[in-house]
């Protein structure tokens, strides 16, 4: 296994993040956690790329549907359908519209527990219930029920890979090897060096 410090995650600032002028704020949150940006670019994704991106996990539709149904039930509300596949199917269609309406910023962040830390800072899928202090909790107000009643995807500013295996499958869809930087940040010494020698004069 690679050292912890080599874990990578894919982050996409979605069209609403770009349009809300939150690029800097979002990057700041990940940057200040100690993670290292190793690739950043602005692109206008095609529907085909979005389809491939959300097909990396073959169970995506089922999972996303089940999560939505669960969220309705927790609130004592009735989901639009009780079949996760039906809900998941419409989510993918709506995501294609949402994710291709304006440029996005795609990034790779690297460091110990990168996937988990980015998801923690990002917050839960539904901004209505994501924690205060997370990016989604602090900067956006969307909900399953509003998105469903308006027939669109939930606008939640960011995509962040769900686990390290998924990250490694998503990254090549968005970046060529030559776009990914291999370099050392001086701060990595204080984050990862075992003995911390050489600091005192």
**Catalytic (active-site) positions:** 159
Instruction: Copy the structure tokens of residue 111.
Output: 């460091």
Instruction: Copy the structure tokens of residue 3.
Output: 């050292």
Cβ-based neighbours of 158, under 8 Å, separated by 6 or more: 11, 12, 13, 14, 17, 26, 122, 135, 136
Choose the stretch contacting ligand ADP; rule: CB under 6 A; options: 22-30, 38-46, 107-115, 143-151: 143-151
Q: DSSP letters along 99-159, please?
A: HTSS-EEEEEEESTTHHHHHHHHH--S-TTTSPBTBHHHHH----HHHHHHTTS----SEE
**Does the protein bind Mg ion through residue 162 (CB under 5 A)?**
yes
Binders of ligand ADP in range 11-50 (CB under 6 A): none
Secondary structure class of 26 (helix, strand, coil) = helix
| Distinct helix (H) and strand (E) counts, the chain | 10, 4
**Does the protein bind ligand ADP through residue 120 (CB under 6 A)?**
no
Q: Which residue in 75, 94, 113, 169 binds ligand ADP (CB under 6 A)? A: 94
* Residue 101 or 185 having the CB closest to ligand ADP: 101
* Residue 124 or 162 having the CB closest to Mg ion: 162
Closest contact distance (angstroms) between CB of 151 and Mg ion is: 21
d(CA 139, CA 51): 27
* Residue 94 or 185 having the CB closest to ligand ADP: 94
Closest contact distance (angstroms) between CB of 20 and ligand ADP is: 14
Size of interface with ligand ADP, in residues (CB under 6 A): 16
Binding site for Mg ion (CB under 5 A): 162
Binding site for ligand ADP (CB under 6 A): 64, 67-68, 87, 91, 94-95, 125, 144, 147-148, 153-154, 156, 159, 162
């Amino acid at each position: 296994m690679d050292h912890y410090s080599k874990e990578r995650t894919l982050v996409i600032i979605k069209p609403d993040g770009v349009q809300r002028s939150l690029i800097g704020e979002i990057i700041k949150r990940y940057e200040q956690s100690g993670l290292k940006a190793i690739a950043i670019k602005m692109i206008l994704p095609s529907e085909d790329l979005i389809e491939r991106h959300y097909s990396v996990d073959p169970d995506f539709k089922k999972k996303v549907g089940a999560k939505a149904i669960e969220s309705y039930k927790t609130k004592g509300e009735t989901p639009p359908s009780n079949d996760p596949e039906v809900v998941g199917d419409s989510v993918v269609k709506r995501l294609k519209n949402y994710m291709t309406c304006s440029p996005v910023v795609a990034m790779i962040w690297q460091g110990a527990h990168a996937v988990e830390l980015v998801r923690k800072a990002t917050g839960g899928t539904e901004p209505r219930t994501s924690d205060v202090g997370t990016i989604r909790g602090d900067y956006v107000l969307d909900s399953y029920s509003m998105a469903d009643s308006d027939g669109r995807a939930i606008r939640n500013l960011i995509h962040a890979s769900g686990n390290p295996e998924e990250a490694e499958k998503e990254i090549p869809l968005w970046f060529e090897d030559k776009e990914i930087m291999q370099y050392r940040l001086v701060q990595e010494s204080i984050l990862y060096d075992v003995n911390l020698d050489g600091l005192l004069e």
